[in-house]
Each structure stands twice: as C-alpha cells, then as structure tokens.
C-alpha cells in the first residue's frame, strides 16, 4: 500500500532515499524548515548511519568507520550542536603523524597543504626525501611568476601537478599517501579541480607552487581511511564525538523521530518512477511498501542512484554510473602494549603505495583518542585497499589479519599476536574523482534539475567526509524545497 504524497491537510510528502549521514542531514533540514512537510526516510540496511558505525572492542566503543571529521569546515560542528552534542566533541590527543619513507617512519613535516609541502626547511628536516629529491623540490622556489599570460588548465591530475612542480619523491612519498589516502585512490588520474582546487589554482598561476600554497585552504575531509592530520596552529584539525561518531547519527535519528519524520530501516527502494499526470509525483517501490511523494532526495551511492533513476532518465543514469568506487577494509587490533617496540607518540602513519604492502595507513587509536586508553593495552586500526588494488578484498578475515599483523611488524615493530581483531569491510565505499569530475557533476546536476522536485546528494558529487556529506544533504533539501515552492506558485 502506498503512502500518500499529500495528506488530508494538503501537506507535501518528501521521500529521502538513503539513511546515511547525507540522507539524515537532508531529512533534518526538511523537518526543521519553515514549511510544513511530511518526510519519509527509506534505508535498505537494518540500521541508520551508513558508514558511520561503531563496535565494542575490549569493552570500549570504537569507530569502525570514520573516527572523526574535519573541524575547519563548519557543518559537522553545527550539526553536533543542533542535536545536543556540542559539548561532547574532543580533539586528538596528539598532533604528530608519520609516513613510511626511506625504510623507517618519519614525521610529517609542518607546512603541508593537504600533503603538498609549502616550506623547504621542515621538509628537509623530516628526512622523507633523499638529498636528490630535496634538491628537485627546492628548484620550485626558484620559479618566478610569468610576465606574460599563462595557460590555465581546466583540470589536471594531482600527480601531474605535484610531480611536474616538485618532483617524483614529493609526489610518491607525500601527495599520493595523503591525498590518495583521503580518497582511497592513486593521485595519477585524480582530479585536482575536485579534490584540491587551490593546488590547480596555484599551478595555473605559474611560478613557485610552494609559495602559492602557503595560505591556501585545504577544504577536504577524510573518510573511513585513517589519514592523520597535521596543523600549524593550535586549532584542532579533527574532532570526534566522545564515545564514537555513531552517537551523532543515533542522536540525529532520535531528533528526527521527535520531529515526526517517518524513519524506515530494512526498506530498500527497488524502483523509482515519475508520473506527470494528473500532477507531478514520484513513486518509490520496494519490499517495505510503496511511497508516493511530491519531492525526492536520492542520497545513495552513484551506482545505486544510476540503477534507480535509469527508468526516469537514461542519460542521468549513465553519468552517475561513470563514477567508479574503491573497496576499503579496516582491521582493528587490540594488542598488548609490550608487543610494540616503539613509542606510539602520534596519531598514526601513512604508507606510500609500492605494489607490495596491503596496509595503506595505520591509526594508533589509543594514542589518538585518550578515552580509548587502557593500562597495558593499545588499539590499532590499519587500512587496506584502494582503487585498483583489491587484494585485501580477496583474502578472508583470518588471512587478512595475519597479513596485516606481519606488515605492521616491519612498519612499527609490532610483535606477537593481537588479543582481538575486528575486520570491517567497506566494498564500493570511496567514490573516485577522476579528471573532469566537476564537469560530470555539473552535467548530473543539470539533468536532475530538469526533473521536478528531485535532488541528488552524497559523497560521489562534491566532497567526501562527514562535513561535505552534511552540506550535500542540506543543499539537496533546499533544492527540493525550492522546487515545491515553485510548483505551488505555478500549479500548471
């Protein structure tokens, strides 16, 4: 039986497909708007929250999805405050982070702009580059801005920009582990315009890339991959909700219920149809029941959106289907403190891709988040998998844990066997922003705008990470709200 699009009092119904942080944020914006609306959230899983998920490990609540959000974007902090968690935000217990380079863990240097160095002194002292690599990077500081008009590229690969300006070692040992780690993919072919616009803008100006980036905002946010952050001032780079990030989605779900939002788990949408007569209307079909709606927010991965919207607009579906995804697996380990042969004096480390190791990063959870510390124990979380490397996905859990522990033995002197190991798999979880991604997104949004009261949202479009997804959900809610207002003004 279908839920009516308009109730007896004429209140419009808005359906939100997807109950991750994006869809929940869209529903929150709709439910707290000035317009009376019936909002229905349809989630195929048995739980809300999407990739924000917690587990109990050693009697502690531990995130097995993203463990923090970027603090310098306002959306995450704003939403926490709105649902009563503003006083529950905590910063990491350390600001140090490392990268594996030249056969050892070396500290990430100060002055990094999202993995691209801006100052030569800290870079030299870090020991990450060989003398030859450091000399190659130093050449950049000799460049002067062009005196004649300079060609400005619409988009380029991140690796192309960094390698061309600062050399192979900076590209492979810093930019690719950090920027590639955030997006779980190689920076070769990754859109600079989409993942780090200031990098492309600085390159387009000509002259020294390092000088041009010194005051550039980063504006990107990490997702489930454990990417440490380094800041040059006292403000925290990342924040976490005390007790786990899933407290944010749990609190948000509770607030939505109080607002009268209909929240349905175990309700996958299997088909979407748009009917133009007798009035424009969306019909959503699935085993949890059909829903008729005046407006629609689709906040699921691009491949799922493509399948659902193919009967409505084949061109839009093809554009969405062209966005690739990476598989990522997290291995959380509870170990005896004496089994680690080095001090865990930081948030963790990154591992450049070399074709041999599975581990791409490791977070020292009990050092990063003091509330997780227990006497005599440590918590580690290793990340494996990136676009083009599915080796971790092909190993079963036991094989993967053995492989990860063996690699950590060489990377951070981990000895013995873990007390406990938890494997969390995130297949198809990281959208890849290929060169030309912004143009693809613009085309997607143009096609969606031609359909009445429809908006798309999610990490596949304009940014990964919790704040970016919140912003995407809010924007989608506003778009559908404007569409409803226009329809009411012009019922024809």
| CATH ID of 13-48+245-323+434-489, from 3.50.50.60, 3.30.1330.90, 3.90.1170.50, 3.40.50.720 | 3.50.50.60
pLDDT score at 227: 40
Dihedrals φ, ψ of 66, to 5°? Answer: -60, 135
Strand partners, 383: 330, 361
pLDDT in the model for residue 217: 61
Of the candidates 52, 69, 48, 63, the residue with the CA atom closest to the CA atom of residue 422: 63
- The kind and range of the H/E element at 158 are helix 158-166
Q: Contact at 8 Å (CB) between 436 and 361?
A: no
CA dist 315 → 301, 391, 448, 449, 457 (Å):
17, 33, 10, 13, 18
pLDDT of residue 225: 40
Q: Secondary structure of the chain: what % helix, strand, coil (to 5)? A: 35, 25, 40
Give the pairing of strands 359-364 and 348-350. antiparallel
Closest by Cα among 455, 329, 298, 306 to 404: 329
Secondary structure string (H, E, C) spanning 65-126: CCCCEECCCHHHHHHHHHCCCHHHEECCCCCCCEEEECCEEEECCCCEECCEECCHHHHHHH
pLDDT score, position 150: 66
Query: Whose CA is closest to 213, among 225, 195, 197?
Result: 197
Q: Which structure tokens are listed for 365? A: 């959870």
Residue 302 is predicted with a pLDDT of 98
Q: What is the pLDDT of residue 489?
A: 61
Residue reference for tokens 């440490």: 228
pLDDT tens track, the chain, 492 positions: 445 444 556 899 999 999 999 999 999 999 999 999 999 999 999 999 999 999 999 999 999 999 999 998 999 999 999 999 999 999 999 989 999 999 999 999 999 999 999 999 999 999 999 999 999 999 999 998 887 666 778 999 999 999 999 999 999 999 999 999 999 999 999 999 999 999 999 999 989 999 999 977 654 433 334 344 444 457 889 999 999 999 999 999 999 999 999 999 999 999 999 988 677 699 999 998 999 999 999 999 999 999 999 999 999 999 999 999 999 999 999 999 999 999 999 999 999 999 999 999 999 999 999 999 999 999 999 999 999 999 999 999 999 999 999 999 999 999 989 999 999 999 999 999 999 999 999 999 999 999 999 999 999 999 999 999 999 999 999 999 999 987 766 555
pLDDT at 488: 66
- Which CATH architecture does the domain made up of 54-74+85-94+325-431 adopt? Alpha-Beta Complex (3.90)
Tell me the C-alpha distance between 359 and 155, whole Å. 30
Q: Distance (Å, rounded) from C-alpha 395 to C-alpha 174?
A: 28
CATH of region 98-145+153-224: 1.10.3110.10
pTM of the model: 0.94
Give me 331's structure tokens.
């291995």
Is 152 within 8 Å of 220 (Cβ atoms)? no
- The DSSP bridge pattern shows strands 291-293 and 281-285 to be antiparallel
> Would you state the pLDDT for residue 487?
72
Nearest-angstrom CA–CA distance, 191 and 160: 10
The count of residues in the chain is: 492
Query: Token pair for residue 82?
Result: 């709105």
β partners of residue 430: 326
Q: How far apart are CA 205 and CA 425, in angstroms?
A: 42
Tell me, what's the pLDDT at 223? 38
Structure tokens at 122: 């800290």
Cα separation, 49 vs 51, whole angstroms: 6
Report yes or no: 334 and 377 within 8 Å, Cβ to Cβ: yes
- H or E stretch covering 148: none
Which residues are registered as beta bridge partners of 281? 275
CA distance 270 to 268: 6
Domain boundaries, the chain: 13-48+245-323+434-489, 54-74+85-94+325-431, 98-145+153-224
CA distance 184 to 172: 14
Residue 7: the pLDDT is 52
**63: helix, coil or strand?**
strand
Phi-psi region of 127 (alpha: psi -120 to 50; beta: other; left: phi over 0): left
Q: How many helices (H) and strands (E) does the chain have?
A: 18, 22
């Amino acid at each position: 039986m279908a839920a009516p699009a308009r109730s007896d009092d004429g209140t419009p119904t808005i359906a939100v497909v997807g109950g991750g942080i994006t869809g929940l944020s869209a529903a929150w914006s709709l439910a707290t708007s000035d317009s009376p609306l019936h909002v229905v959230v349809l989630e195929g899983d048995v739980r809300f929250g999407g990739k924000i998920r917690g587990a109990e490990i050693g009697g502690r609540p531990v995130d097995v999805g993203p463990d923090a959000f970027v603090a310098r974007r306002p959306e995450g902090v704003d939403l926490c405050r709105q649902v009563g968690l503003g006083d529950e935000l905590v910063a990491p217990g350390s600001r140090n982070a490392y990268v594996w380079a030249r056969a050892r863990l070396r500290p990430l240097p100060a002055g990094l702009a999202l993995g691209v160095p801006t100052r030569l002194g800290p870079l030299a002292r870090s020991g990450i580059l060989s003398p030859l690599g450091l000399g190659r990077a130093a050449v950049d500081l000799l460049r002067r801005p062009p005196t004649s008009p300079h060609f400005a590229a619409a988009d380029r690969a991140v690796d192309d920009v960094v390698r061309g300006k600062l050399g192979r070692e900076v590209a492979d040992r810093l930019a690719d582990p950090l920027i590639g780690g955030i997006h779980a993919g190689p920076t070769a072919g990754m859109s600079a315009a989409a993942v780090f616009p200031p990098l492309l803008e600085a390159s387009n100006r000509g002259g020294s890339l390092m000088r041009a980036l010194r005051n550039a905002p980063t504006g990107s946010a990490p997702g489930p991959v454990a990417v440490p952050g380094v800041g040059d001032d006292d403000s925290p780079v990342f924040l976490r909700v005390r007790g786990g990030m899933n407290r944010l989605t749990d609190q948000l779900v509770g607030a939505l219920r109080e607002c009268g939002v209909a929240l349905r788990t175990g309700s996958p949408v299997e088909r979407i149809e748009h009917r133009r007569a007798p009035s424009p209307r969306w019909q959503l079909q699935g085993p949890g029941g059909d829903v008729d709606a005046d407006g629609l927010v689709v906040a699921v991965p691009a491949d799922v959106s493509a399948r659902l919207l193919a009967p409505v607009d084949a061109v839009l579906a093809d554009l969405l289907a062209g966005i690739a995804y990476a598989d990522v697996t997290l291995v959380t380990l509870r170990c005896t403190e004496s089994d680690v042969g080095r001090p865990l004096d930081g948030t963790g480390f990154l591992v450049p891709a070399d074709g041999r190791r599975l581990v791409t990063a490791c977070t020292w959870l009990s050092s990063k988040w003091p509330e997780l510390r227990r006497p005599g124990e440590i918590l580690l979380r290793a990340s494996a998998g990136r676009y083009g490397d599915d080796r971790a996905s092909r190993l079963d859990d036991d094989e993967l844990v053995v492989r990860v522990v063996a690699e950590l033995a060489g990377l951070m002197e981990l000895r013995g066997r873990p007390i406990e190991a938890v494997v969390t798999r995130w297949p198809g979880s990281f959208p890849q922003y290929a060169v030309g991604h912004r143009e693809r997104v613009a085309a997607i949004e143009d096609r969606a705008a031609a359909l009445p009261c429809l908006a798309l949202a999610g990490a596949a479009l304009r940014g990964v990470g919790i704040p970016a997804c919140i912003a995407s959900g809010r924007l989608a809610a506003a778009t559908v709200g404007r569409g409803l207002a226009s329809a009411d003004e012009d019922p024809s």
